[in-house]
Amino acid sequence: MLRWVRQQLGFDPPHQSDTRTIYIANRFPQHGHYVPQKFADNRIISSKYTVWNFVPKNLFEQFRRVANFYFLIIFLVQLMIDTPTSPITSGLPLFFVITVTAIKQGYEDWLRHKADNEVNGAPVYVVRSGGLVKTRSKNIRVGDIVRVAKDETFPVDLVLLSSDRVDGSCHVTTASLDGETNLKTHVAVPETAVLQSVANLDKLVAVIECQQPEADLYRFVGRITISQQMEEIVRPLGPESLLLRGARLKNTKEIFGVAVYTGMETKMALNYKSKSQKRSAVEKSMNSFLIIYLIILLFEAILSTILKYAWQAEEKWDEPWYNEKTEHERNSSKILRFISDFLAFLVLYNFIIPISLYVTVEMQKFLGSFFIGWDLDLYHEETNQRAQVNTSDLNEELGQVEYVFTDKTGTLTENEMQFRECSINGIKYQEVNGKLTPEGFSEDSPDGNRHSLMKEEELFLKAVCLCHTVQINADQTDGADGPWHANGIASPLEYYASSPDEKALVEAASRVGVVFTGTSGDTMEVKSLGKPERYKLLHVLEFDPNRRRMSVIVESPSGEKLLFTKGAESSILPRSKSGEIDKTRIHVDEFALKGLRTLCVAYRRFTPEEYQEIGKRLREARTALQQREERLADVFNFIERDLELLGATGVEDKLQEKIQETIEALRLAGIKVWVLTGDKHETAVSVSLSCGHFHRTMNILELVQHKSDSTCAEQLRQLAKRIKEDHVIQHGLVVDGTSLSLALREHEKLFMEVCKNCSAVLCCRMAPLQKAKVVRLLKTSPEKPITLAIGDGANDVSMIQEAHVGIGIMGKEGRQAVRNSDYAIARFKFLSKLLFVHGHFYYIRIATLVQYFFYKNVCFITPQFLYQFFCLFSQQTLYDSVYLTLYNICFTSLPVLIYSLFEQHVHPHVLQSKPVLYRDISKNAHLGFKPFLYWTILGFFHAFVFFYGSYLLMGEDTSLLRNGQMFGNWTFGTLVFTVMVITVTMKMALETHFWTWINHFVTWGSIVFYFIFSLFYGGIIWPFLHTQDMYFVFVQLLSSGSAWFAIILIVVACLFLDVVKKVLYRHLQPTSTEKAQLTEAGSGINCLDSMCCFSDGETACTSVRRMLERLMGRCSPTRVNRSWSSSDPFYANDRSILTLSTMDSSTC
């Protein structure tokens, strides 16, 4: 128990060494002083709370919020000292907010517990005591031998021991881990592969030494030591031997594996790590406003306290005859009395801080996020994928984006590769009707119609067919003739590959006559024009991003040892010593200029002595437990040299639909687009030009191939000078990875200056961490712009997590980007709808919500402050305690919530077809100091009108009832409160442009509810209330015609100036958005610029009501004549729950 506590506190880490030793089947050594290592159990825990810690932990998290903690202090003050209001007035709203949030978080955690229990309770089979034992997943221990059957999910991270196949191989799919649906092959070591029965496995004596758990899905270093016939055999273990929890067994009847990582130490669980919390600009503004209002509150409380003592300096007011002090009060300390009075005023005015703001904002974000998933315009039919929201905290940030960082492959392009051209032995070839045809020859020319392949062509195609990680669908088997027609042309085999490039190349080779027909054990089968050949696979030199190439060593049918290598031209050409190197380099550059993805192919023959040396070095590096990657990299570099160049390939990755329009729209919206890609310079520039990122008229500046700081700095200075000289022309900048590293090391400021003056920036040959570094550089620059990163692959995850908003594309490179993103969409073109419509709406809604909350609380508490001038600062409350409690919870909460969910101040189609409207809300325009000041002053103004309007009506001794009876202070307070509830609700109605039946119901329903509640509350003597000051007060107030007149007059007086201000600003200083709401064209309205269209024969100014609707930017949805149109610039199929169809301008 003590050890567990120490581990939880971090004093006693569970793993002291860098490696773990696992005894298979938990057969520990019987001799010596062996101390077994402690490993985690196999329970998965994704929940945040337990039954015991939910209340304290949840309360701690909630009271970390400033507003919640502040109200807790106020509540405690009310309990401790004599205050003018009941503790219930602060306690009940606080309890409501805390309870609602706790229920929401508790429910979400209960769902996590439920999911955990299902996973932990799943049945599994374990080899124990010579037989298979059925147990629960949570009971598996490290060292247990586990059996997994076909289509089952692996319950732990296992090292494969054997399968139903003789060679000990099995196929798995890791779709749930990284989204890759292709089949991956895993193999057992030969000594355990033969142990295919439970009885044989139970006799196995072996020890596994491997690294401690780490999150990298693709890295595993270990070795297995097998004791056989008094000798020990050591075999290396790598990622090909590790079966990950969450992956699924395919095309294999059953496998046996030993558990090496369990529970929260599995690679899947280690990838659960929560991302750093992102906070939106709106949330930061909200906290700033809270601090300002806290200062206002303290000022009012201090001023009231000082004025109270200034007033009481006169003896007659210090102790009036009707309120004599007790002996204790006379003798009490003046300092304590001052503090007590200050705290009492603090309690009296505390409602100026809106406690329910947090819970309303949370509900708005949570409920509002569903609209993105429901939007049919963001649904992709081909893949049956809809938009996905992983965090709702950043909805409004979608309306504030200034920089977009995008990946190229799979994000701007389809990641669907098609073979286009190749270069073999210095000659360019194209595929024509399933044949390789040299450039310049047609099928009709003498050499164009050939049925055989030249030696160089055949060797090149064999290299393509042997050097890859492609798998074949296991259901496709060779029959008598195999997959061949009589003419020797291959019928299509179904290939699976983790790389679309490899799949395209293998398919192209099969079409032109060299077909990869599968693997059997360590044998690869190839058919060249129908003639089968078997190559023994000796070694695979796996691809890695640093080498940028992969290789295989095979033994040909004639017994020759051959190395086939394929990779980027920058990693193959410098290592080639023969072949048509110069011609191939020219061809590669030509392919790249056409926007094709290029790979170079080379080979090497080994003498028996060379191969023996290579085999020895590889074995040593692969069995090393320390620095295995570095040793392997050295050996790979030793092997992959003195190559003979065979040729190069050009594969096309076509652009996604409507990429050009989307990028142009982003540019019109004032958003700068940066493309960050790992592709080579020429390919990236070509794609940038074709997708509209670079214009043909743009001046392209280059910062590439710099090796030293000095040359890089000099080039940057020259670029900065050119930009200043040609400031009229648009500039585009191209940077490569090495130059970028130099620029960021010493010349960050100069580099940023150049980048900011460029309309478009393209960074090529980028490593994943470099992408994140570029995003961080922009993000932390003095202007602090809002950044958005969008990508589809695992290499984009760091960039997505670094940006303010991360968007994952549901592409073909797995689901890692989607899992780590804030939002996920199926295509890049959906980004325009997400930003220009959803982002715009969310920002406007929440900006209004936040400021309206502060406004209505200023309206609420300022009359309380003014009332103190009329009651000698005696801390007498103006409102009844029930009204104080329910004002924010019931009377004014729903209209603003519904507004923040449904408001559409401009038609969605207009927002999307006019990207320039996005500029109106950029740089937090609606939540800056000016709008905040306007709403605050408006709140104070309305509060003064409520209070002094009611005071002037009632006067000193005015009788407003027929019997001559006068109103008392509770009636006065109720009149002020009634006017206030109606005014703040009507103010929300004035802000609403898009009316639905729900808006009408909650707006007018809130006012009606207030009247009904007040009648019941004041019309009945409630037995559970100690005092009932409000008995019959409301009924008496409403029985006065003068009171009704006063209510109407004061509400109109408050809102009239607001309406006048709106009308004047709309006509004298209209924003682009207001112009889009309503643009007059002749006698009618231009439908393309406005929300409002009218039916045939009806002009825009047929009535005063129409005029007022236009002045307020309104229209009735029933009068809008809409029709489907295929000419919509972004979405021909406009079927959104939020977005109406294209408007028909012919009816205006």
Which residues are known to be catalytic? 407
Instruction: Please give the DSSP secondary-structure letter assigned to residue 31.
Output: S
Q: Supply 1103's token pair.
A: 């009535």
Q: Supply 946's token pair.
A: 């409520």
The CA distance from 632 to 610, in Å, is 17
Cα dihedral value 340, 343, 348, 351, nearest 10: -170
In sequence order, what are the residues at sequence separation of 6 or more whose Cβ sits closer than 8 angstroms to the Cβ of residue 786? 281, 397, 400, 401, 402, 403, 804, 805
Residue 874: Cβ within 10 Å count: 12
CA quadruple 861, 862, 863, 869: dihedral sign: positive
Q: Supply 584's token pair.
A: 């191939």
Residue 1095: Cβ within 10 Å count: 11
For helices 628-639 and 608-623, the axis angle rounded to 10 degrees is: 170
Longest dimension (CA), the chain: 125
The CA distance from 1072 to 114, in Å, is 51
Nearest to 823 by CA among 399, 406, 398, 281: 398
For 72-97, give one letter per residue: b (16+ CB within 10 A) or e.
Answer: bebbebbeeeebbbbbebbbbbbebb
The CA distance from 836 to 912, in Å, is 6
Length of the chain: 1148
Q: Which long-range contacts (CB under 8 A, 24 or more apart) does 968-971 make?
A: 968/1033, 969/876, 969/878, 970/880, 970/1029, 970/1030, 970/1033, 971/1033, 971/1036, 971/1037
The CA distance from 282 to 288, in Å, is 10
In sequence order, what are the residues at sequence separation of 6 or more whose Cβ sits closer than 8 angstroms to the Cβ of residue 772? 798, 799, 801, 802
Coil/strand/helix, residue 132: strand
Q: Supply 981's token pair.
A: 């509830």
Residue 205 near residue 226, CB atoms below 8 Å: yes
Nearest to 733 by CA among 679, 792, 673, 783: 673
- For tokens 């602060």, what's the residue? 90
Residue 568 near residue 549, CB atoms below 8 Å: yes
Amino acid at 639: I
The CA distance from 679 to 846, in Å, is 40
Nearest to 201 by CA among 149, 124, 151, 144: 144
E-only strand ranges, 178-291 = 184-187, 206-211, 222-228, 231-237, 242-243, 248-250, 254-261
Provide φ and ψ at 673, rounded to 5°.
Answer: -110, 125
The CA distance from 555 to 466, in Å, is 11
In sequence order, what are the residues at sequence separation of 6 or more whose Cβ sits closer than 8 angstroms to the Cβ of residue 759? 667, 672, 698, 730, 731, 732
The CA distance from 168 to 255, in Å, is 9
DSSP H or E stretch at residue 823: strand 823-825
The CA distance from 866 to 943, in Å, is 9
Instruction: Please give the DSSP secondary-structure letter assigned to residue 236.
Output: E
The CA distance from 198 to 207, in Å, is 18
Nearest to 864 by CA among 759, 798, 940: 940
